A and B are shown apart, each in its own frame.
Chain A
Amino acid sequence: MGYGCYIHVPFCPGPAKCPYCAFYSVPYESGLAENYVEAVLGHAGRLEPPKIDTLYFGGGTPTVLDIRLLTRLIDGLKNLLPLNELIEFTVECAPDTVEPEIFSELAARGVNRVSIGVQAFEEGVLRSLGRRHDVPKALRAFDILRNFPVDISIDLIYGVPGQKHADWQNTLARTIALRPEHVSLYCLSYEPGTPFTRKLAEGKIFRTTEENDEEMYRTAVEILKSNGYEHYEISNFAANGRVSLHNMKYWTGEGYVGLGPSAHGYYPGPPVWSRFAAIDDIRGYIQAIERERDPIGEREELSLALRLEEFLMLGLRLIEGFSRDDLKRQIPEIDADRVIEMLEPLISAGFLEMRSGNIKLPDERLFISDSVILRALELTDLDIKTPPGF
């Protein structure tokens, strides 16, 4: 398999960011956008990556880029990177940025997957979320996209203050009726520094209960599965095997390069395993490229212990879990049998299970995956001689 390539497009239509969002983005400015595109291409030109087979434009909102810039970016990347064996090319978009003219250009350039930030098919919930689009706009966007040969992935949010169970069921039903190839779910989280988190602290909104969120999650899993969607990762569902190949790379320890401010990359070894994050400020990033300085803001070399941590953390997010062979392949230096032995207490307590040779989270534990993973990390901690009792 080849590498993935993630391009962070740090622009949103504005004027303000969505009040719950902590991703790095700035309001769209055409001059800045132009410099940004040149910087990304400059960055790409410095890389000597191996073959790349998935491309992912995320954001922000990539489709706010002027179509001229977007095509310049894609064409430029094609010249600079080994993209001739590209299998999957995803672009994220917001419903109010979907226009036929844009997508005909994109489809012509190989975009074959679109992830659309619908969030909800309920006006009330959309308003609570402070989104710019409404339900008709979302439907219109979907209709437009259906005219192109692209897989469509719909993003949905639950656990929103004021969102009723019936709202959520309605949103799920309307989603299924559209038959997107892929669905991603998010539970609203309160990220530091966002307006939502501030309102929470001020007592203007109230956090939904754990029970509520779990109930919504279970409902979604049930409805999606009974409608033919394969639940393949904690938050992701695919029809007819149309999983996100790019995202799969994150969970299976494959390499990817990251371009654009705050984009992350991963270069697995041997001999060294490193993670990178580009400078997370657009002007800083552009300047670094223009002045031929290093655009990487953070770089981390993974120790054996960290590689094992990540392996467990990511592998257990997949519904099918991981196998002994996956572990041997990804971390040949450690004794896979010993690691699996160390996880035994979690298996016998029913927090993990062994299924056809794979270790995985039982369905009913998915929603407490972080707790289980945490315990798994403690049990397998390479730095601690005796793991804590269970």
Chain B
Amino acid sequence: MVERRPVSVSGIGLLSPAGIGLEGLVGGEEGGTVPGFRARNYVSDRKSLKLMTTAVQLGVSAVQIALDDDGEWGTIPPDRRGIYVGASPQTGDPDALRPALEASVGPDGFDMKRFASDGFPLIHPLWLVRGLSNNIIGFAAAIHDLQGVNANYCDGVDGGINALREGALAVAEGRADLVVAGGADAWSGASALLGGQACGDGAAFVVFRAGGNDVLPEIDALASAVRSGAFLGSATAPVAFCKNLLMSR
């Protein structure tokens, strides 16, 4: 068996349908977007913002808030700072495909050959790249020089739990001294996909460090604690975890 040290949380970044930080503690059960959220308040590079979907903007912003809350993350060497993320594939804006689809119409309707020859050149080069699920890691690591252990999970609600658990274990097992872990997703307006269930946007990340009161048991208990409230995809469990932490502060 692998030896473990206790792991505690030193920073919290919470964006939920109820609000940002402490404002996000109460309410939001009906889902929706994050009130008052503006990515440009957290991401200074405007060019990067254009390459981020809403979920990625939420995730990168929550990482920023969590590290700011930690305050001393910069003292840890970059190769000892890790990042674990739960996220969904970030499908690009369907309207961005419109010109390509229009160009693909033949006498009998949609024509795949026309799509290949005439439609493709009209699609933005980064349409699919924007859809990569691991873009939160790519952008957050570049901004904060996080060079250590990492993983990106695409398992719906379980993805957020996996990210929290594996991130905490990376610190517990000594493979990192600081790990940012959590999840982000943007499901507002998608309740039709889920039979009318309340859906929302959200992101929540924590900073794990060695020592203090061990939070691993709380993470292991998350699976049974996140089955109520609005569906936030990969952010569901991290949002619940962060709410619990903030309420106990």
Q: Do A and B come from one complex?
A: no
